[in-house]
Chains A and B, each alone.
Chain A
Amino acid sequence: MTKTDFRYAVSTLKPLGRWLVNADNISTWEHDTRTLPLPYRRLRNKYRTFAREHLGPIALEVDRDIGHFDPLPVLRKAGRAGLLSEFMVKPIGSASFYGLFHNITFPAVLKAEELTSVCGGLGLLILDHDLGVAPIMLSGDVFQYLKWMSKIAYANKYGEMCPTAFAITEPSAGSDVEDSAGASSARLMTYAEPVDGGYVINGRKVFISNGGIAKYVTLFAAIKGEGAESWTCFLIDRDMKGFSVGRHVEKKMGQRASDASELVLEDVFVPASRVLGRVRSGWAVNRNVLAYSRVGVAAISLGIARGALEKTIDFCKTHSLAGKRLMDYQDIQLTVADMMVDVAAARGITWQAARSFIPYQGATAGAKVFASDTAYRVSNSAMEIIGDYGYVNEYGIEKALRDARLTQIYEGTNQVNRLALIEWQLDSELS
């Protein structure tokens, strides 16, 4: 440290002057954590520890050899650590009263960033469960919430696995079911026909994350003869007669640890008691789930971007050229600085969108667009910095890029999210 170094110069200040300088020699992660209330600091630490202990060591191997990956042991560990029961208070679930009723989104955002900073796929595998149960919470039926969430949270926490999945996408209706304009003329093919005591559902859903392993699926279907406005949310049990998993897509480009499966429904009888919320309220539930989940995708993107940044820094600290660490070259420092700024900005917009108790569509769609574009940009920079090593699997950078690319597509493509932002603000400030 030279005498002109800022941290050294601080020692020359008067005590009050020293107090007014933040010269703590700590990481960005630690700085950011300090800005959080104590319960959130503990959570952030807990999630990071879990990710590093249980996901980090297997991340690359799972990505390379997805055909032999059994997700249940990972989910079981996550369940026992309380990561699959956070929408129900203790002792049945793992949420604190403060955590659940102060803000349910912010802890989910912290969790998503920490898990996906280590592995986008394994992180998604765990996070998909929260998406799967979201309609149970957001349908607004307290009795169903208590009944199903208790059962699911208890099972996950105490070892009898009960993962869930969220199913909206259909073969000819992807963006259509995430956008108001598209939904009115969507080519839907999953319909529920009212019968005595319930409904008979026929149709197909595709690209359903964790669809291949979910015990319960919150599935949306239109009432027969009607359009998307009649969507109703059903809680489907994988053991129901007529329900099957079709094409099981393992080799998607990235986030491979979480499968994207086709769900086939052939005359599946669903009792009326399994309708979540009201009949025909599914479209509203779906849109509200997306308003929450998009900030989750922003956090996933943020995590992947941070992971790429951390791997790059690690590479540049441990590799040298001409006897000089890569990190000591100004060329490298300029790009790493841009990456750090990008990640910090993505964290800012994501945390801001998640701070309100009830997040709104405009903010979460904007956060999702920004953070996912950032993740892709940061991963690209990471690949550029480390050159030829970037496209080799063992350094994890190319995996980060593949993982990042998906965040620009799911939960509505970024184009759909841009339009969602406009739609939300249209009446208030754009008309």
Chain B
Amino acid sequence: MTNSVGGKNILTSDDRKAIEELAYGFVKKEIQSMFSHAGADGDLSRVPDILEQGARIGLLAEHGREEAGTGVWGTTTLSEGPALSIGLLKIISQTCGGVGACFHAAGLGSLAADMIGLDIDGRLACIMPDFDDLHVMPCLTDAETAYGRSSIRCDSTDAGHVIKGRKEFLLQSGRTTSYVLIVPAKAGNTYAWVAATISASDDRLKISNIQGQMGIRAVSINNIEIDNKYIDKQYVITINDKDYRYIIYAYHLIGLTAVLTGIAKGAIASAIKYARERYQGGDLIIKHPAIRFLIAESEARVMAIESMLEGVSGYARGDRSGDIRGLVKYAAALKWFGAGECVRAITDSLQVFGGYGYMEDYGMEKRLRDGQTLKSLSGSSVIHRHTVIDNMETLP
């Protein structure tokens, strides 16, 4: 499907179209049927199989799986940037934001391993540490600062490495086999960022599921605790390229916003369909200015965020490809601003349904719960605002 130019896989527009058609067919066959006989959140027991099927037909990256290079966060991301993943996540999330978030989490774990050549196959999840600060994301700081204040750290000796700590609110898709850890490490008086993997079945790893999450219930949100896990030297890679952490972080925020955008697009499509069927005051409600404004404003919000997503994709191409701080700034602004606009579009679309929007019947309340959860995930707007200003070009 791909052409190779200078060792990189390049997708043609026909390739993209074919992949997107594949995604639409997959959504119709696998994801829509999740909701046929179940409650608002669908038949969640089917999610692992949906992911497996997605990886098998090439829609979801899975490390070591050749056919998934063009899937969500597949290896084509390395040459083409996030545009294809954004498009796929939007298509999937129009029907179910939770499944979209699963694809994002699993795909990003695979990409994190791909980018530094970690020798691990299977379904991966990527872990970056939390920080004890309201202002800075840990992965954006130098190793020494991060080591002192990170929730997970690595102590290195000649014999090997010991990793310990805790990560809260980790997105994790069904049947994760291993975790990719990106953590600050200390060896004597020197500090570095390192990457390592730990098996999901390791007895030094404790996983506890967050109970009672508001939305995106297809994806597990877990707290992870690592109790002094010894890892042999040969399985730990020192990350000399700081861009790696920035890119993974940025792609995480971009992916979440793509999922949110997909949910909003699905909400608007449902609102239009409903407005064309429902009468009020003798007219279809699509003819009422109050309804038209709600839908038009929602559409404009989503168009704006799609433009931002298109813009951030540009950082992987041409002159902007080296501007990593610009990418981080853009991604943080996108998540903060985009999440707000997408949730606004979702809630306005729900309003079109009146009382029915509030019930499970039309799936709108689920969309709002999913959207609100994604909005709060991975850093509040406070942190993103600080990330934007800390990465502005005018600052030293």
Q: Which residues of A contact B (CB under 8 A)?
A: 64, 169, 172, 174-176, 179, 181-182, 184-187, 206-207, 249, 251-254, 260, 321-322, 326, 329, 331-332, 335, 376, 380, 383-388, 390-394, 398, 401-402, 405-406, 408-410, 413-416, 418-419
Contact = CB atoms under 8 A, between A and B. Distances in A.
A402 B354 contact: no
A182 B280 contact: yes
Contacts of A393: 211-214
Interface in B345-396: 347, 350-351, 354-360, 365, 368-369, 372-373, 375-383, 386
Contacts of A181: 281
12 contacts: A174-B355, A253-B359, A331-B382, A331-B386, A376-B347, A385-B382, A391-B373, A394-B211, A410-B355, A415-B290, A416-B290, A418-B290
Interface in B310-356: 343, 347, 350-351, 354-356
B382 A321 contact: no
A408 B290 CA distance: 14
A310 B291 CA distance: 34
A375 B214 CA distance: 18
Given A176-B281, A182-B281, A408-B351, A252 B210 contact: no
A385 B380 contact: yes
B380 A321 contact: no
B355 A169 contact: yes
Contacts of A176: 280-281
Contact of A387 (B290, B356, B368, B380): B380
B357 A401 contact: no
Nearest to A406: B358
Given A251-B360, A321-B134, A388-B377, A401 B372 contact: yes
A384 B381 contact: yes
A175 B168 contact: no
Contacts of A383: 372, 375-376
Contacts of B375: 383-384
B167 to A, nearest CB: 11
A392 B213 CA distance: 5
A64 B211 CA distance: 11
A397 to B, nearest CB: 9
B355 A253 contact: no
Contact of B369 (A186, A206, A253, A384): A253
A322 B40 contact: no
B211 A409 contact: no
A329 B372 CA distance: 24
The winner among A174, A184, A254, A332 for most chain B CB atoms within 10 A is A174
Interface of B: 39-40, 132-135, 149, 168-169, 210-215, 279-282, 290-291, 294, 343, 347, 350-351, 354-360, 365, 368-369, 372-373, 375-383, 386
Contacts of B343: 380
Nearest to B291: A415
A64 B214 CA distance: 11
Contacts of A182: 280-281
A253 B39 contact: no
Contacts of A388: 168-169, 376-378, 380
A322 B130 CA distance: 12
Nearest to B376: A390
Interface residues of chain A: helix, strand, loop or mixed (majority): helix
A391 B358 contact: no
B348 to A, nearest CB: 10
A370 to B, nearest CB: 16
A33 to B, nearest CB: 32
Given A322-B133, A383-B372, A384-B381, A179 B281 contact: yes
B158 to A, nearest CB: 33
Nearest to A169: B355
**Minimum-distance CB pairs A-B, first 6:** A393-B212, A185-B282, A387-B380, A253-B365, A415-B290, A182-B281
Given A169-B355, A383-B372, A416-B290, 20 more contacts: A174-B354, A185-B282, A186-B281, A206-B355, A322-B132, A322-B134, A329-B134, A332-B134, A376-B347, A383-B375, A384-B375, A385-B382, A388-B378, A391-B215, A391-B372, A391-B376, A393-B211, A398-B372, A401-B372, A405-B350
Nearest to B130: A388
Contacts of B382: 331-332, 335, 384-385, 387
Nearest to A414: B351
A351 to B, nearest CB: 26
A322 B169 CA distance: 19
A384 B376 contact: yes
A241 to B, nearest CB: 29
Nearest to B212: A393
A84 B24 CA distance: 54
A355 B149 CA distance: 54
Contact of A402 (B213, B369, B379, B380): B369
The winner among A174, A388, A416 for most chain B CB atoms within 10 A is A388
B281 A185 contact: yes
B283 to A, nearest CB: 8
Contact of A392 (B210, B290, B351, B368): B210
A286 B381 CA distance: 44
Given A185-B281, A398-B372, A175 B377 contact: no
A64 B212 CA distance: 8
